[in-house]
Amino acid sequence: MQVHTPGRRQRGAMIITAALVMLFLLGFMGIALDFGHLFVVRTELQTAVDSCALGAARELDKQGTAIARAQSAGQTAGNANRVNMQSATWSGQGQLVSADITFRDASYAPTTDPAVAIYAQCVHTQPNIVIWLMKAMGAFSGNATTYPATGNVAATAVATRASAQTTCPVPVALKPKAGGVAPNYGFNVGDWVKLIQAQNAATGGEIGWANLDGSNNASETESELNNHCGTKVGDTLGTPGVQTSVVDVWNQRFGIYKNTGNPSLQRPDYTGYAYTSLNWPAQFNAYDGPAPGSPASAQNFVTKRAAFASCADTGTKVNGANSCESITGLSLNSFQKLAAPGNVAGGHKQYGFDRRIVTVPVIDGGSHVIDYACMLMLQPLSIPMSDTWLEFRGNAGAANSPCTTSGLAGGAAGPMVPVLVR
């Protein structure tokens, strides 16, 4: 006679039941973990395309090269972010390309015309995001269709330019000409305006160093050249002296470095080509004008920017024949290297963005900000330091201004800032 032991049968059934429950719970854990992973990657990707759209939108100044610059700036800004659990290479699954960046006009119709493009749109799908536990479930069940090993995430962002409440100007101040009133304060678009190096020596119609935080600390000036934000109309600016270390951060915008400099870290403008009375004798409208009396190679800023020219034009020499010094006549003692020129993989193309078309506060006799001008930085600073020149490009709040600053959007007037709209 066989004797059945119910307890043993129940224990065996409990093991099977527990295994099934654990498998069921593992599935829920897998869903939670994997969807959490996809959500994190989606958030990272959204940050990248937001940066892309903002970077592209700030270049939409209606100039002929705006679309090309916007695509370059959008790629650079977007790909500087990390995607797929902070992977610098986005796990090798493809970063933003120029085809991901498109443009639209005022009616939101697609356009490639830089004269009417006002919106920049960045769209990207990141493929092959590994789904960890669901992949294991697929292997366990033998059904990879039900439990896919990878997933895709997509993100979209749209940005445009809008008037600012606060801005990020450079730490200099423009003093109106005698009797000059808004919007241009006595200047003509294209005028060259002198930046005086001596402390508090600038007079009407000139530019002087001016700390945006209101201090008179010379070291603060250097710091503020690396994007000090929050300046608004009504602020009182300081009147500092200037120390030679300001030359380093000023010249980085021209792609001019000492031995430790690096364009991937100290980002240059799209071009380092500079303008002085030697290569631009007219001393007027180097931005987009003709060059009467100039060498044939001395094309205007818009042209040089489109070619991603260096301070030495197509070369990388600081001094000697066909160098930055020989073209400009400036002395650049202690500077040894230039960002590489060219449309392929040069430093100005790969790392450049809009760093020489700058917003400058306009001040009254009490050093109060009353408005903002748009200026082109014409020249690197020389060693020893001497007065330098910028070019007046109009009021920074004008509809056709090439200036776009950073700052808080929402003002009724004032400089343009890039802002997300979708």
pLDDT tens for 133-191 read 655 555 555 555 555 667 889 999 999 988 888 889 999 999 999 999 999 999 999 99
CB 304 within 8 A of CB 314: no
Tell me whether residue 160 is exposed, middle or buried, using C-beta atoms within 10 angstroms of its C-beta: 0 to 12, 13 to 18, 19 or more.
buried
Mean pLDDT of 2-13: 56
CA–CA distance, 113 with 383 (Å, rounded to integer): 43
Distances (CA, A) of 357 to 228, 302, 303, 392, 406: 16, 11, 14, 10, 12
* 215-272 confidence digits (pLDDT tens): 999 889 999 998 888 899 999 999 998 888 899 999 999 999 998 888 989 999 999 9
CA angle (376, 381, 384) in 5-degree steps? 160
Which has more pLDDT, 13 or 152?
A: 152
CA–CA distance, 245 with 252 (Å, rounded to integer): 12
54 Cβ partners below 8 Å, 6+ apart? 77, 157, 159, 418, 419, 420
Give the global pTM. Answer: 0.75
Domain positions in the chain: 12-163
Two tokens, residue 103: 């443009």
pLDDT at 53: 96
pLDDT at 405: 77
CA–CA distance, 341 with 350 (Å, rounded to integer): 10
CA–CA distance, 114 with 112 (Å, rounded to integer): 6
Q: Categorize the per-residue pLDDT at 2 as very low, low, confident or very high, splitting at 50, 70 and 90.
A: low
Mean pLDDT of 268-293: 96
Q: Categorize the per-residue pLDDT at 22 as very low, low, confident or very high, splitting at 50, 70 and 90.
A: low
CB 271 within 8 A of CB 301: yes
CB 294 within 8 A of CB 370: no
pLDDT at 108: 94
